[in-house]
């Protein structure tokens, strides 16, 4: 589809030469062994046809560790191999992938084995970005960064990234990678109207000062920033069916009230709540791209609509903060 690139905006990733789409597709939950293959393929092709070139994987994504990489690799071979150079394919390692002491965190042994296994599952000789997925206080930072260096030197990744780091650790890691001339260009962290952790742990400021890209996942706060929770907690929601990451005890009546107020604000501006939530993240100059998840192709099309809205102004961002943090307005 020749028009795909006119449907998407692209932002430079930090001070690198790489451009990322404002909306990217994450393959965390809905590309596993129990997912319908035809639906997975439709989502990938819909994403690409709408200008989404960045596909975000990790070694343990599924469900079923490795299954998302396998399924994506099959779709790539069957449908998109001729477009390989138009795609940005990223994967990560850092969380538990296999049993024993060498199957998670940041040791050289784990990272070197993981990149080889990921490439085999996807069916590629290299990925565009390889991330270390989380900080590891028990492994010397020099060891983890040295493994990332060698992965690039071996041609198995074009760029490296860091995920779920805080600001101070990011700066230390960036110093090591810079001294070794490793193309570290991007970090990835959770960020949404409800989750401001990167503002508190120094990551957002570090991103700007280091001139690195920032890719944000969970911009819809696990679905809270959609219309699904306006009438309460749905019976088929992730809270009720999974509960590992979004817990029912955290969805208080106060939070539901905030969600409804945010929805009213979005509607007053001609947006859905989800569109406003994505626009909020993209209104921050530090952000390069937002990663969305989806269970069907129509959701991807809806998410891409968010780029058509102008960025939120300071007054609008303050109005959102007043809704989310009403205690700040108390005397």
Angle at 309 between CA 280 and CA 285, to 5 degrees: 45
CA–CA dist 129, 126 (Å, integer): 9
With respect to residue 268, please indicate whether it lies within any of the assigned structural domains.
no
Please count the CA atoms within 13 angstroms of the CA of 126 that sit on its side-chain side. 16
CA–CA dist 34, 64 (Å, integer): 9
CA–CA dist 72, 171 (Å, integer): 33
Q: Which helix (H) or strand (E) holds 321?
A: helix 314-324
Question: How far is CA 122 from each of CA 58, 59, 70, 167, 255, rounded to the nearest angstrom?
Answer: 11, 10, 5, 32, 40
With respect to residue 219, please indicate whether it lies within any of the assigned structural domains.
yes
Domain ranges, residue 297: 2-226+279-312
Conformation bin of residue 191: beta by default, left when phi > 0, alpha when psi is -120 to 50:
beta
CA–CA dist 266, 274 (Å, integer): 9
Residue 2 has pLDDT above 90, yes or no: no
Residue 3 has pLDDT above 90, yes or no: no
Distance of CA 199 to the CA centre of its chain: 17
pTM for the full model? 0.94
With respect to residue 185, please indicate whether it lies within any of the assigned structural domains.
yes
Q: Which pLDDT tens digit goes with each residue over 87-140?
A: 999 999 999 999 999 999 999 999 999 999 999 999 999 999 999 999 999 999
Burial class (CB in 10 A: 0-12, 13-18, 19+), 310: exposed
With respect to residue 234, please indicate whether it lies within any of the assigned structural domains.
no
CA–CA dist 18, 177 (Å, integer): 18
What is the pLDDT at residue 331?
45
The percentage of residues in the chain with a pLDDT greater than 70, rounded to a whole number, is 95
Count of domains for the chain: 1
pLDDT, average across residues 304-312 = 87
CATH number of the domain at 202, please: 3.20.20.100
Which token pair is 218?
């969970």
What is the pLDDT at residue 267?
96
Please count the CA atoms within 13 angstroms of the CA of 52 that sit on its side-chain side. 26
With respect to residue 258, please indicate whether it lies within any of the assigned structural domains.
no
Distance of CA 260 to the CA centre of its chain: 25
With respect to residue 253, please indicate whether it lies within any of the assigned structural domains.
no
pLDDT, average across residues 240-264 = 80
Helix axes 108-122, 67-75, angle to 10 degrees: 40
With respect to residue 235, please indicate whether it lies within any of the assigned structural domains.
no
With respect to residue 51, please indicate whether it lies within any of the assigned structural domains.
yes
CA–CA dist 185, 160 (Å, integer): 7
């Amino acid at each position: 589809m020749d028009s795909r690139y006119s449907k998407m905006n692209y932002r430079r990733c930090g001070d690198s030469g790489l451009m990322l789409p404002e909306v990217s597709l994450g393959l965390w939950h809905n590309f596993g062994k129990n997912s319908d293959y035809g639906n997975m393929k439709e989502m990938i092709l819909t994403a690409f046809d709408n200008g989404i070139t960045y596909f975000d994987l990790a070694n343990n994504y599924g469900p079923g560790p490795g299954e998302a990489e396998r399924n994506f690799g099959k779709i790539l071979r069957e449908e998109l191999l001729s477009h390989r150079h138009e795609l940005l394919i990223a994967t990560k390692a850092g969380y538990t992938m296999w049993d024993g002491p060498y199957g998670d965190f940041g040791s050289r042994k784990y990272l070197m084995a993981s990149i080889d296994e990921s490439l085999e599952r996807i069916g590629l000789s290299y990925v565009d970005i390889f991330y270390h997925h989380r900080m590891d206080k028990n492994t010397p930072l020099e060891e983890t960064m040295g493994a990332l260096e060698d992965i690039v030197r071996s041609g198995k990744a074009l760029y490296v990234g860091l995920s779920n780091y805080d600001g101070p650790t990011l700066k230390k890691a960036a110093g090591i990678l810079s001294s070794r001339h490793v193309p570290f260009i991007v970090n990835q962290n959770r960020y949404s109207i409800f989750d401001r952790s990167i503002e508190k742990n120094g990551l957002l400021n570090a991103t700007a000062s280091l001139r690195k890209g920032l890719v944000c996942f969970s911009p819809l706060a696990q679905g809270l920033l959609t219309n699904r929770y306006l009438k309460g907690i749905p019976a088929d929601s992730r809270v009720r069916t999974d509960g590992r990451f979004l817990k029912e005890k955290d969805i208080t009546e106060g939070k539901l009230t905030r969600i409804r107020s945010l929805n009213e604000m979005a509607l007053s501006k001609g947006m859905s709540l989800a569109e406003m939530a994505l626009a909020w993240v993209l209104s921050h100059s530090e952000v390069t791209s937002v990663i969305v998840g989806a269970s069907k192709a129509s959701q991807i099309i809806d998410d891409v609509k968010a780029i058509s809205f102008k960025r939120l102004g300071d007054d609008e961002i303050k109005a959102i903060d007043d809704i989310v943090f009403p205690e700040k307005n108390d005397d």
